[in-house]
Chain A
Amino acid sequence: MTLPDYADLAVCPFCGSNLSRGQPRGVDEWGPLPSGRAVLVDGPPAPSGSQPPAEEQVLHSLSCPQCAGPLSVRAGRRILLCAHCGVRVLVTGGGGFSRWLFPQKIGRDQALATAGKWLRDYPGISGRAREVPVTRARLVHVPIWEHKALVAGWEFGTKLRTRYHLVTDGEGNERLDLALSKEPFEEPHLLERRFFQAACDIDALEATRPRFSGRELLLPMVAGEVEPSSTVMEPRGTAAEIAERGRKLALQSASGAADPHGRMLILRESLTLLYYPLWLVDYQAGGRPYRIVVDARDGSVNSASAPAREGRLTPSLGLRIAALVAAAVFALWLGSVVDAARVPTVFVAVIVCVTAILLVLRSPGGGKVEYHEPFSS
């Protein structure tokens, strides 16, 4: 894995401005870091004092090469501005991937309060579970791969389109008729495509992949930015695999044509590992463990489970089951009266009965209430 090499002053060497061609102070330092220095980690964080394996882990200090002031760092930025002396620093890189962090904005107490509120308010939860004290919460940082590709090219082929035709019948009446027609198309593309993939088993955490656009403010994944008690999950999959998959998806047809042909190519691409903070709030109800996952970035409930209300027929469920039973009885009666319709009506009655049984089994009284954040994956 190759990683960004160093920071270079982005000023001209030909007309008298400062331009550092060498490595700035602090680059390639390893181990305990002096306080007050901004450091960008590219590659997995290493234990204190260990040596980075060649071409795998490199630590880059992003202090200003001119005045050693801290440099503000944000994902997607190549020009960093020294807040102290105003020098602009260019970060160069030749591939590999960088690690970024969604800033955690929700503390433990807030997460517990959110989880408790969800337990109290969400419909269908057992009354006893609503009273359970929720006191255990731990923070995890979930890794998510992001592949960005700038794609250019042309797509062509044929598309099925609906067209109106004027149709005249034998009596001279005219009407508009819809018809499908195959039409050639050519579409140019110059666009950025992003592909996200969870780098750990999010389902095992009983969470869902959090929603984000990829354009949020991110921080470099540095020791000082992550809460010490947080569990940073190890990423699954290699950068090469993810990049390969990202490339394949980036070159997929964007036209929606039936038989697309494309002459597309990727102009530039980048791979990033994003760490997303989630609070895992665990509690017990009725001797069984349950979990509420709270988004530590925006404070919403990412996913949750709770024991369902004790098996009781709610009025709406009772009405639905009664309607189904009535339909089944009617079908059986019809089958007994009309000989020719006996087989189909019995068949319909069986289907209606099965549906009624499933309704009862899947009703909230059946076991567990689950919630997953809408539009997440």
Chain B
Amino acid sequence: MAGGDEAAMFVCHGCGQVHEVEESGLSPFAASTVAVTTELAVSGPVRYLAVWRLLPNAAAGDDPVWERIRRAAAPGPAYLYVPAFSMARPVVQRIGVRLTEIQPVLQLASGAPAVAGRWPALAEAMPEVSPFPAAPSVSAAAAQLASPPAARSGSLADPPGFEAVSPILIGRREAWGLAYFVYLAIEAREAHDLHSADLRLEPGEEELLFFPAVWDPRYIHDSNWRLLLREFDGLVA
């Protein structure tokens, strides 16, 4: 099961099931994987980024920014997007703003992306042929415990610290708080006066989606991530 100390949810790479941490323990949480729709060539390994898609129950009707987002999403509902794979402010802001403004049309498949060859049961039954890494030694465990969290998180320019599937660092409740942050970011780009921002977000439905992406430093406006969606083709900086 993937997820470190900062994880809000845990992903099983074997079966694609996402688990949410609750008072009573772990409980399954439905997630979906977004299909690749880009029409351009893809270079580099495809990674899946966890993003919250939020559908507020009610939002202020008079806010022009929200009206524009609703028009962009029509005939479907308008969603707010909050990246869940990073706690870095620029990443949350840029990718959240871009997805919310564009309101991409998504083709969803149930479950988180599964990683081939990651079956813990197989690892336990046949450890000699296990595709899983061996149980860590005492020294490895101590080294892991001794390494400060700061040492494991790099700057934006560094390649991502995960392989195929991103961790989920933002929980459901936090996502609604960050949705407001993302919305104000859109408002700040357009209105230049946040006093007038008038969006009342009432938490409604939330979905956890895994977006296909390639880490590409040319996409500086998307925090070095190229989302493999048709709507993002040609958005290279």
Q: In the docked arrangement, what's the CA distance between A195 and B194, Å?
A: 28
Q: Which one, B5, B93, B181, B184, contacts A79 given CB within 8 A?
A: B5
**Cβ < 8 Å to B, chain A residues 86-110:** 86-88, 90, 92, 94
Tell me which of B56-64, B68-76, B118-126 binds A.
B118-126
Proximity bits, B129-147, A CB within 8 Å = 1, else 0: 0000011101001101110
Q: How far is the CA of A267 from the CA of B84 in the complex (A)?
A: 13
Q: Give the contacting residue for A83; candidates B14, B124, B141, B195; CB below 8 A.
A: B141
Identify whether the interface residues of A are mostly helix, strand, loop, or mixed. Answer: loop
Tell me whether B3 and A79 are in contact (CB under 8 A). yes
Instruction: Give Cα A78 to B10, complex, Å.
Output: 12
Q: Does A186 contact B (CB under 8 A)?
A: yes
Q: How far, in whole Å, are A87 and B134 apart by their CA atoms in the complex?
A: 11
A residues 73-88 in Cβ contact with B at 8 Å = 74, 76-79, 81-83, 85-88
Considering the chains assembled together, what is the distance between the CA atoms of A77 and B149 in angstroms?
10
Least CB distance, A159 to chain B, in whole angstroms: 14
Flag if A14 contacts B15 (CB, 8 Å): yes
Q: How near does chain B come to A344, taking the closest CB pair, in angstroms?
A: 53
Q: Closest CB of chain B to A211's CB: distance in Å? A: 17
Chain B, 1-55, CB within 8 A of any chain A CB? 1, 3-5, 7, 10, 12, 14-15, 17, 19, 21-26, 28
A264 nearest CB neighbor, chain B only: B181
Question: Nearest Cβ in chain A — how far from B95, in angstroms?
Answer: 13
Does A134 reach chain B (CB closer than 8 Å)?
no
In the bound complex, residues from chain A placing their C-beta under 8 Å from that of B17 are 12, 14-15
By the criterion CB–CB under 8 Å, are A12 and B12 in contact? yes
B228 lies within 8 A of chain A by Cβ: no
Taking a contact as CB atoms closer than 8 A, the residue among A10, A17, A19, A88 that contacts B124 in the complex is A17
Q: Does B80 contact A (CB under 8 A)?
A: no
Measured between beta carbons, the chain B residues less than 8 angstroms from A290 are: none
In the bound complex, what is the Cα–Cα distance between A281 and B120 (angstroms)?
A: 56
B residues in contact with A8, CB < 8 Å: 25-26
Q: Number of B residues contacting the other chain (C-beta, 8 Å)?
A: 53
With A17-B121, A154-B181 as contacts: A215 and B194 at CB distance below 8 Å: no
Q: How many Å lie between the Cα of A21 and that of B23 in the bound state?
A: 11
Is B180 interfacial (CB 8 A cutoff)? yes
Q: Report whether A156 and B181 are in contact in the complex, using a CB–CB cutoff of 8 Å.
A: no
Provide the residues of chain B in CB contact with A13, threshold 8 Å.
Answer: 26
Q: Are A188 and B185 in touch, CB under 8 angstroms?
A: yes
Contact assessment for A267 and B178 in the assembled complex, using a CB-CB cutoff below 8 Å: yes
In the complex, whether A217 has a CB less than 8 A from a CB of chain B is yes
Complex: A184 Cα to B177 Cα, angstroms? 25
> Which residues of B174-230 are within 8 A (CB) of A?
174, 177-178, 180-181, 184-185, 188, 192-195, 197
Q: Which residues of A contact B10 (CB under 8 A)?
A: 10, 90
Q: In the bound complex, do residue B146 and residue A152 qualify as a contact, i.e. CB atoms below 8 Å apart? A: no
CB of A19 within 8 A of CB of B26, answer yes
Chain A residues contacting B122 (CB-CB under 8 Å) are 16
CB neighbours (8 Å) of A189 from chain B are: 89
Residues from chain B with Cβ under 8 Å of A87 in the complex: 135
A268-B21 Cα distance, complex, nearest whole Å: 14
Q: Which residues of B contact A186 (CB under 8 A)?
A: 188, 192, 194
Bound together, the chains give a CA A19 to CA B121 distance in angstroms of: 12
| In the complex, chain A residues whose CB is within 8 Å of the CB of B14 | 12, 14-17
What residue in chain B is nearest A216 (Cβ atoms)?
Answer: B148
Cβ-based interface call for A249 (8 A): no
Contact of A92 among B21, B87, B180, B195 (CB under 8 A): B21
A76 → chain B, closest Cβ, in Å?
Answer: 7
* A265 within 8 A of partner (CB): yes
Is B180 a contact of A265 with CB atoms below 8 Å? Answer: yes
Whether B92 is near chain A, meaning CB under 8 Å from some CB there, is: yes
Residues of A within 8 A of B116 (CB): none
Q: Are A153 and B26 in contact (CB under 8 A)?
A: no
Q: Is B150 an interface residue (CB 8 A)?
A: yes
Q: Which chain B positions have C-beta within 8 A of A11?
A: 1, 120
In chain A, positions 261-279 with a C-beta closer than 8 Å to chain B are 261, 263, 265, 267-268
The docked-state distance in angstroms from the alpha carbon of A72 to that of B142 is: 8
Question: Is the C-beta of A205 less than 8 angstroms from some C-beta in chain B?
Answer: no
Pick 6 A–B contacts, CB within 8 A, sort by A. A6-B25, A78-B5, A81-B136, A86-B141, A153-B184, A265-B177
Q: Which residues of B contact A (CB under 8 A)?
A: 1, 3-5, 7, 10, 12, 14-15, 17, 19, 21-26, 28, 87-89, 92-93, 119-122, 124, 134-136, 138, 141-142, 144-146, 148-150, 174, 177-178, 180-181, 184-185, 188, 192-195, 197
Q: Footprint of B on A, CB under 8 Å?
A: 5-6, 8, 10-19, 21, 72, 74, 76-79, 81-83, 85-88, 90, 92, 94, 150, 152-154, 156, 184, 186, 188-191, 215, 217, 261, 263, 265, 267-268
Can you list the 7 inter-chain pairs with the closest CB atoms, starting with the nearest? Answer: A16-B121, A86-B135, A17-B120, A12-B12, A190-B89, A15-B14, A15-B15
